[in-house]
Amino acid sequence: MSKIKTRPFDMANYLGDEAEIAEYLRQVLEDGDPAELAAALGDIARARGMTQLARDTGLSRESLYKSLSGERAPSSETLFKVIRAMGFKLSLEPAQR
């Protein structure tokens, strides 16, 4: 019997356009988990190119990889730098009760 070769799932491979990226972020933000948000931003950064994000934020690629790994929640300063550099803005609305 032959073995099937598989690769680990990587969301970055499925983020093809801005509408998909925005919907992905919307769903992650709804969950309210800072580490999950960091991981999602990491997925987007890998889909778009981590080198350009490093230039746009003034942070090193290594620092971004660590901060956006999802293993820990990065500082709010890093999150805001990344969100702005990616061309997003955050807005709030009252939660439905």
Tell me the two tokens of residue 47.
Answer: 């889909």
Residue 4 lies in a domain: no
In a domain, 27, yes or no: yes
Does residue 72 form part of some domain? yes
Examine residue 10 and state whether it is found in any structural domain, yes or no: no
Write down the pLDDT at residue 96: 80
Q: Is residue 90 part of a domain?
A: no
Among residues 17, 9, 74, 8, the alpha carbon closest in space to that of 41 is found at 74
What global pTM score does this model have?
Answer: 0.85
Overall number of domains in the chain: 1
Taking only the tens of pLDDT, the chain with its 97 residues reads 789 999 899 999 999 899 999 999 999 999 889 889 999 999 999 999 999 999 999 999 999 999 999 888 889 999 999 999 999 988 888 888 7
Q: By residue range, what is the domain housing residue 49? A: 17-85
**Predicted local distance difference test score (pLDDT) of residue 66:** 93
Residue 52 lies in a domain: yes
For position 48, which CATH number holds? 1.10.260
Task: Name the burial class of residue 40, with classes exposed (0-12), middle (13-18) and buried (19+) by CB atoms within 10 angstroms of its CB.
Answer: buried
